[in-house]
Structure 1
Amino acid sequence: MGELANCPTCGALFVKGVQSVCQKCYKEEEKAFETVHGYIRKKENRTATVPEVSETTGVEERLIMKFVKERRLHTTHFPNLTYGCERCGEPIGEGKICNNCKDELRADLSLEEKIETIREKQDRESKITYFSVNRKDKR
């Protein structure tokens, strides 16, 4: 069952389930989607960027980017409809971060894993080392 939430667009109370906005705002978003999709479906507009589409259709850029993120508008058909990487801001067409940031994060995680392995090895070695004390030398 859905949870009770405020619509992020208009603030109205609604039951949050499949939709992330209230019914009224959902209908407005659908109307905006049809406007955007109708515009970029035309052959001469397929290479339009998000700002160009927004300016021509009057639909907010954030809403167009939402359609791309939700994969309602595919960047394979409309290659210039991109949004910024959440880490560095580079234009991307899918996911949350760009390939460069993914590679950096993988490298950092790999390095951290190696460091952790070395620490664990040092801990094991220090635990199995035995020291003997000669009682005669102790005096």
Structure 2
Amino acid sequence: MNNTTGEIRVCPRCGKMFCYMGIDKAICNKCKEEDEAEFNKVKEYVYNNSDATIMQVSKDTGVRVNRIKTYLREGRLMIPESSPIFLNCELCGTSIRYGRYCRECAESLSSEMKKELHIDEYQIGEKPKNGLPKLRFSDQ
């Protein structure tokens, strides 16, 4: 693949073929638009209902829990300090507020391994200090 032509892929969400240019998520443009609309719906809901649980957000917005968890893993939403429910680091299992890995695990990986696992800074979550089940959105 070069910079002027994309790679033909099948969208994992809808099953349609699309030209992936190597930028952003590997889903078709229609699914990207739907994803962005769902994220904005969740973001607005969380902004107006800061004490909502993931289940409440899902029920009231119609956005699936797994999709909301994806936004947390991507670092687009954050679980506040006061929540008793958190995500788990994919390597050691410790509680984190967002992302895929805790800082300690991310720092212990070599830069080559981080590159191979596609670990970006936004996927490195903070450990919670303590707390009530609420969500926040990040400014990323």
Q: TM class, shorter-chain normalised?
A: 0.5 to 0.7
Matched residue, 2:35:
29
Write 1 or 2 for the structure with the bigger share of strand.
Answer: 2
For this pair of structures, how many residues does the alignment match? 99
User: Mapping of 1:1-139 within 5 angstroms?
Assistant: 1=3, 2-16=6-20, 17-18=22-23, 19-42=25-48, 45-73=49-77, 75=78, 78-79=79-80, 80=83, 82-87=86-91, 91-98=95-102, 102=105
Aligned equivalents of 1:82 and 1:23: distance in 2? 31
Deviations 1:38-59 (A, max 9, x none): 10001xx213222221122110
Q: CA separation in 2, counterparts of 1:41 and 1:48?
A: 10
Instruction: Letter of the 1:52 partner, please give it.
Output: Q
Q: Percent identity, aligned pairs only?
A: 37
SS of residue in 2 equivalent to 1:65 = helix
Higher gyration radius (CA) = 1
TM-score for both structures, normalised by structure 2: 0.56
Moved segments of 4+, more than 6 Å: none
Q: Which structure 1 residue ranges, 5 or more long, are not aligned?
A: 107-139
User: What value does the CA root-mean-square deviation take over the aligned residues?
Assistant: 2.8
Greater helix content: 1
Question: What is the TM-score with the length of structure 1 in the denominator?
Answer: 0.57
Q: Which residue identity does 1:72 align to in structure 2?
A: R
Asked which structure has the greater RCO (Cα within 8 Å, sep 6+), the reply is 2
Measure how far apart 1:82 and its partner are. 4.3
